[in-house]
Every structure is written in structure tokens, then in C-alpha cells.
Amino acid sequence: MLKEKLKDYHIILASGSPRRQSFFEDMGIPFEIKLKPIKETYPPHLKRSEITDYLAELKASAFDGDLSSEEILITSDTIVWHDGTALGKPADPAQAMEMLKSLSDRTHEVITSVSFSTSEKRKTVNCTTKVRFCKLSEEEIAYYINEFRPFDKAGAYGIQEWIGLVGIDHIEGSYFNVVGLPTHLVYESLLEFTD
């Protein structure tokens, strides 16, 4: 069991996301939150999981030299990949509207990378889920943006919120990845990482 394997380790979760923190609590993984500000930019030639791998590792590199051998640092990044472009978090309601209109009646990918680091090693894994939206009206999109303020979410939506309940036709892959963390992959990776 993972809990037994982690008893000699201290888990540091470098994420301000309440959804990711909640997942760790639900999986029974004790953790401490530590955040370091970084500029989340990446080279323009990177595509899909190359972007999230790069950003998850960039977040981890901010802790280089700070970790002890008993600490495991976990960093992650999520993007929505659509029409050959990475959609991050919308800056304002107009950008959120533009993003959701582009996702309406189409399929996109949600890609999350998770990086595990100690003072000696680093491992990064990623997960992709395909998500299809029904046709959304401008009124539905405006209602969602005004009521739910999805400015902290890649692609301007949360699958677990109203728009996911009424607007998502089907998904292919991990639901939890779309919420913000491929929990099955985190569990498997921590089991392997602590061997």
C-alpha cells in the first residue's frame, strides 16, 4: 500500500489548486503545501504534452537545492489543447467567452503533466483526455462565466461544474485528469518512485 511506502517520506505539493489539494486528501496522502512563484512561459516550438512536461519541471526546478532526501516534491501543469494551440487560464470574461465558443460542438484534449522530484532524481509523467462539448449557446456560456467565474481554470471551464453537467457530451480517458490531476497516475508513479 502507498501509505505504508510513504511513511518515511515527506510529500510537498507545490500547487495552489484547491482541487489538487482535495485529491491528495481523498487519496489519503499526507502533504504540505509550498509555493514558489515562477513565470509560466515555455518555448514556442513545444506542443501538447511537451508544454505541460516543461512547465511541471520548471515549477520543480524552483526547488532545486532545497529538498532533503526524505522529501518528494510534486508539481504539475494542465493545458487544454485545441486547434493546435494551448489554452491556458482566461484573463477576463471576454477571453473566457472566446475560449468556450471555440470549444463548443468540438472535441479538445486536456493534458496534465506531473513531476516527482527528490534531491537525487526527477520523474515526469503525463495524461491526455479527450473531451467533447455539445453545441453551447452564447447565453449558456455567458451564464456560466458570470455564475462560476472560471478564471483559474485552463480552457475556461471546470468539468465538475454546471457547464460540464449540461454541456459535455462524452470523454475518452481520465475524468479526474480533466478536473486537474490524473489521480491514478499519481498513485502508480508514487508507488514506483518509492521502490
Give, in order, the Cα–Cα distances in Å from 136 to each of 64, 80, 102, 143.
45, 18, 10, 11
Catalytic residue of the set 26, 77, 152, 169: 77
93's CB contacts (< 8 A; 6+ apart) are 145, 146
Are the beta carbons of 148 and 97 closer than 8 angstroms?
A: no
| Distance, C-alpha 138 to centroid of its chain | 27
Distance of CA 164 to the CA centre of its chain: 16
Q: Is 77 a catalytic residue?
A: yes
Cα–Cα distance between 89 and 87 in angstroms, integer? 7
In 83-167, DSSP assigns E strands to 85-87, 107-117, 122-133
* Catalytic sites, residue numbers: 77
